[in-house]
Structure 1
């Protein structure tokens, strides 16, 4: 047995998406970082060994997809991956290789695969070193470091170091949580094994072994919320936990889950009245042998995230990450119980009642104090071993949210690793952590760009042209480039029939009146229908309170029989406040005979909702725009939006779009009152935010992202090109010039998009000194 000794600034234990994001973020900020992963591939539950697909906030909220490190990986996967995304089981090695490639090309990052942490040394409340073993190499690693980050999922490093932990469900009385049980228990949500099938093109047989579980009753699936949407790959509800311990009985669970996977496939293949004829030529291609864990040990931090934090979404001073999955509390026992997860069972059996009810939360913020040890001065954690109650973990445990946390602690560790007490320093310097995360492409619900070094914030912004918000109709052309509904999941409503109260967000231009709103409606009844319409101010696109005070205006609209017909409302709203654009919401009361037509086009930043329970809206479909028109056309995509401080639609569209009627090239320009010295420019393009990763097809390049562009600076003899890029697919791009450029005007020239007739930009930043981290997959920069 050989032993090597090494010192790093930061150690990250665990190579799931939390660990990958933490390690890459840390290394990008100059910290010598080692990522220790006990498997041969990265990605954890999302890897090809387990094959749980990366979920996140965009599954339930428009424009809420996680950005930062995980966004780079997901975008690149779609660019190079030939496979369509299915729910659990499809993941191939292309995804593994994207993550491996990102880690390998990151400077300051050492990767140790097939290596597990076995021991930790703690001196005076501080971890000084760990011992790790590389299996198959007879190699022991003795590693010392300034900071340690536990992304193991099981809280293994924290447990070895003596950090207090929790396992199971807290009693409702401990934190006052509605969804906690009356009595505490050590039981956790279960683990899942995935599978994948292949169509052989010829009839095939399958005979389950005698030790497989036998299934014969289709009611177990239909009434238990165990939906079979297709036969291509596995299902989340193939789940077992209690009476076994998901941590210590992991191998027993693996075997028991294998018995159930084979038994379920045997039933679908040979005895299910609907699926068996459709499975005639299908054969099992792969059965996972690593259980995908939902929950095991949670490490206690300075703050324990609770159910109320998700529902109330407080603006924490130390906010560093966000989530937006619902409180997804699976039935303890999984396959051993009649119902897998009550909310989902209700959805599948009664689509008209599709709702998570009060379990539908977010986007919500996650504080650094929930990722920081209260017992050890140099330990952070991220992922499903974060400091949270069982109820709160039900929403934070999904992969996109774990990655958001991972990037946050990676930045916190790198910026503060030299401090005597790293945890205290990170909390004291959390404003720097927040601004660094935003600069690196992450998103925070309550924090915007306040970077004093960003020269763009003091510039006057102009553009060659700007798109106007006129509306979209039932025949408007879609420019989504093949992005569709994620049809494996129940996204409601499927049509615009007003079976519930329904609303559409519309942007108002600063200082503009709004005279008329028109809606494209059809009346499927046999007599004209009168329905109530109201107009409300809203704070942002996730302002889901449907009863939000006094309306700005209200009326009764008469919808004639037939259609679609444009029904106009003379709202006669006076000029809006001049400080900037903002949203209003038009509501229509339920009227089942009336259909509000869904437009094939998605108007950027303007989404629809429907009332899922009294007083509360949720996203309509997967982020559709309902057909509307406004007069006068509203200035919703003005150049100044690129320095609004937020790089996605939120309280405004936060996007400049060029006039689609004017052919490219188009430009957007920064003007200063005196020359500035610029060494680095960062641009964030639209794309990859509206919908869940699952909605994006193979080889996808988002039409909204600029494919070819130039960065130019004005000099005494005219405009000079500082950078020209082709074949870009990244939404965040960074350009560092060989030498500083002094200029009073800088502009981005959009030459080609990936399909959208408009050029679009969310944000532009400019710096005198290089501070922006380089993304892994920039476009191809041309040189003279």
Structure 2
């Protein structure tokens, strides 16, 4: 057996999306970094070995998709992958290769794959050495590092180091969490195994082995949250945990899950009254043999997160990541439990994929358990990712310092990737400073501003980067989009980003006023709103009266049904048929939230439908009423048909210097007039010449929803494809950089040494949108921005 000694600044253990993001972030910031991973491919549960799709805050909240390193990976995968996303089980090796390619492009990063951690050495409260074995190479690695990051999922490093850990479920009496049960237990959420099928084009038989589980009752797959919408791949509910331990009994769970997968496929293929016919030409193409874990150990950090932290309005001063998935607690026991997962069980009662049947199956949520589980978007503090007991240990992923209930939201892969990038960046900064404690928060503002500069999003932190010269500039543009009307006939300018479904259930499926509906309307610099009209279809055969209310709201994530005193209240009379109902609201500038949002509410009215637009109006989304006087995003983030006079002005050029790179309390995006032909430009000007060597641009796109709705080879139409960066030399514009085939959102350009008092971005072509669309422009005298993997 060969023994190899290595030394790094940062050692990241675990190559799931948390560890992958941590390692790339650390290395990009100059720290010599090792990534030690026990599998042959990166990505953990998202890899082709497990095939769980990457979920995050955008599943619930509009414009809440995670950015940073995870965004680079997801954008690239969709741009080069031929495969349609079919929820769990679909992932192919294109995703594996995308992650591997990003790692190989990263300087200062050493990969050790097929290398599980076996032990650690601890001296004076610090991990000095990580001991790992490279499988099939008869090699023991003794890796020393100044900082160690545990992203193993099971908290292997922390456990070996003697860190306090938690396993199981806390009782409600411990933290008074709404989702906690009366009694504590050692139970956990289970592990899942997926499968994938292929259409052979002809009938094909399937005979299960004798040892497979036998299912005979169709009702088992029509209840308990075990929703079947496709036989292409799946399912998350093929899940087993207790009575087995998800760590020590992982192999026993794997064997049992294999029996379950084959038995379930046998039922669907040969016995189910609905799915057997649809499965006639399908054959099993892949059955996983690496179970995907949801929960095991949680390590003790300097802050212990509870469900209340996810619901609280007070932000953490050390916010470094964010989440927004709902409190998704699967029932311990999985397939052995009567209800696999309460929220899904409450939302869906049918198991068919026919569009009409699916729409009928999705019931009103007002009485459903999922309503109380929605949280966020919320910030995650660094102190929940730093060990309280080991000075140089950080961690990210499902090992986060939290209760079982809080983990229900924190555990999803989009969220853990943002945690990983935060701790990797923090470790690199600590290394540069020569700091000795991972819990050193003396430069937390620097860490936050670095994360923002690297493309991450923090809900409660804006760009205040002292090095960003753009913050002192004046901004102007060639044109800007003004909004007067969006209706059913509005051209779908955003290339398939209309009312999203693509096989994934969205609720509601139409604008029928079976419950109250709402539309967030971005005001921008509009001086007044004289009239507000909505397009309604009254099929009752008689005039109907609908209660209408307008509120000022804090932003697109202000879900309060009654956020304050109404700006206006009234009644709209709607004659039979499809027609515009006009309301002379007469709102003045003094009443409108400058730069922010108002929200129009329509009360429930039988046989009346508020018509949806097929187009998307960026930053402006619909909502629907749920229980507890709350609203939720409508469908996949659709826009209801409405018109205003005078036209709204929410997309001015000043938005590129707002300090926020997505719609939140305002749209935060400049959009050129879609009626004005490209090229269009946005310009920064200073009172005196500045020295420039680097420019970073954040284009629009890839934010509204999760990437599940994006087709193969997708390029977001809002993202600029071809553009130039130009500087004024006193006589004319001089080209500094040119791009002809861009499809990503964060781009960085190193410029020739330039002294100028004006630069401009000129967008000559987008990937489909007639408007040029930019969230942010940054400018620097030196090269401080990390370079994306693909540029």
> Is this a same-fold pair by TM over 0.5?
yes
Alignment of structure 1 residues 30-69 onto 2, 5 Å? 30-69=30-69
Paired residues, number: 776
Aligned to 1:688: 702
**Deviates further, 606-615 or 425-434:** 425-434
Aligned residue for 2:531, secondary structure, equals: strand
- 2:659 equivalent among 645, 651, 675: 645
* Aligned position for 2:356: none
- Deviation, 1:55, is 0.6
Using the alignment, how far apart are the partners of 1:555 and 1:482 within structure 2? 35
Counterpart CA distance in 2 for 1:202 and 1:44 is: 35
Q: Deviations over 1:226-252 (max 9, x none)?
A: 111011001100000001000100000
Equivalence for 1:311 = 311
Residue by residue, what CA displacement relative to the aligned partner does 1:522-564 show, whole Å, maximum 9, x if unpaired?
Answer: 111021001110000011100001111210111110011011x
Q: Structure 1 residue 373 and structure 2 residue 387: aligned?
A: yes
Give the CA deviation at 1:511.
Answer: 5.7
Residue-by-residue CA offset, 1:208-233 (whole Å, 9 max, x unaligned)? 11111110001111122211101100
1:713 to 1:641, Cα distance in 2 relative to 1, 3 A: same
1:322·1:445 contact (CA, 8 Å) conserved in 2?
yes
Q: Contact between 1:346 and 1:353, CA under 8 Å: does it hold in 2?
A: no
Which residue is 1:530 aligned to?
545
Unaligned runs of 5+ in 2: 350-360
2:629 corresponds, among 600, 610, 615, to 615
SS of 1:689's equivalent in the other structure is: coil
Q: How does 1:214-253 map to 2 (within 5 A)?
A: 214-253=214-253
Contact 2:387 2:439 in 1 (8 A): no
| In 2, Cα distance between equivalents of 1:646 and 1:471 | 26
- 2:187 aligned partner: 187
CA contact (8 A) 1:226 1:340 kept: yes
- Corresponding residue of 2:87: 87
Please give the secondary structure, in 2, of the residue aligned with 1:27. Answer: helix
Distance 1:351 1:333, change over 3 A: same
Structure 1 residue 116 and structure 2 residue 116: aligned?
yes
Q: Measure, in 1, the Cα distance between the counterparts of 2:437 and 2:560.
A: 37
Structure 1 distance, partners of 2:674, 2:259, is 57
Aligned residue for 1:758?
A: 771
TM (norm. structure 2) is 0.97
Alignment partners' CA distance in 2, 1:330 and 1:614: 23
Q: Distance in 2 between matches of 1:216 and 1:578?
A: 61
CA contact (8 A) 1:378 1:421 kept: no
Corresponding residue number in structure 1 for 2:145? 145
1:98-155 residue CA offsets vs partner (Å, 9 max, x unmatched):
0000000001111110011111111111111111110000111111111110010000
Alignment partner, residue 477 of structure 1: 491
Aligned to 2:567: 552
For 1:393 and 1:422, the matched residues in 2 are separated by 29
Give the Cα–Cα distance (whole angstroms) in 2 for the partners of residues 471 and 345 of structure 1: 39
User: Cα offset for 1:362?
Assistant: 1.1
For normalisation by structure 1, the TM-score amounts to: 0.98
Report what 1:416 is aligned to.
Answer: 430
The whole-number CA distance in structure 1 between the counterparts of 2:632 and 2:440 is 36
SS in 2 for 1:370: helix
The reply on whether 1:562 has 2:559 as its aligned counterpart is no
Cα distance per residue 1:703-755 (max 9 Å; x no partner) = 110000000010022111000111001100001123x2110001000110000
Work out whether 1:351 is the aligned partner of 2:359: no
Query: Larger deviation: 412-421 or 33-42?
Result: 412-421
Which residue does 2:265 correspond to in 1? 265
**Relative to 1, partners in 2 of residues 1:388 and 1:425: Cα closer, same or farther, differing over 3 Å?**
closer
Q: 2:118, 2:131 within 8 Å by CA — same for their partners in 1?
A: yes
Aligned equivalents of 1:578, 1:238: Cα separation in 2: 51
* Structure 2 residue 752 is the aligned partner of structure 1 residue 746: no
Q: Does 1:515 align with 2:526?
A: no
Q: Counterparts of 1:426 and 1:295 in 2: how far apart (Å)?
A: 28
Q: How far apart in 2 are the matches of 1:544 and 1:771?
A: 38
How large is the RMSD of aligned CA atoms in angstroms?
1.3
Matching of residue 777 in structure 1 with residue 790 in structure 2:
yes
SS at match of 2:585: strand
1:733 is the counterpart of 2:747:
yes
- In structure 1, distance between residues paired with 2:669 and 2:288: 43
Aligned residue among 389, 399, 408 for 2:413: 399
Following TM superposition, the consecutive aligned residue runs of length 4 or more in structure 1 with deviations greater than 4 angstroms are 418-422, 576-580
Matched, 1:675 2:714: no
The Cα offsets for residues 56-89 of structure 1, whole Å up to 9 and x where unpaired, read as: 1111111000000000000000100000001110
Structure 1 pair 665/131, CA: closer, same or farther in 2 (3 Å)?
same
Change (3 A) 1:488 1:340: farther
CA distance in 2, matches of 1:489, 1:717: 55
Secondary structure, counterpart of 2:562 in structure 1: coil
For structure 1, the residue ranges without an aligned partner over 5 or more in a row are 779-784
Change in Cα spacing, 1:179 to 1:692, as seen in structure 2 (3 Å) is: same
Residue in structure 2 matched with residue 134 of structure 1 by the alignment:
134
Q: Tell me what 2:554 maps to.
A: 539
Contact 2:526 2:648 in 1 (8 A): no
Match of 1:716 in 2: 730
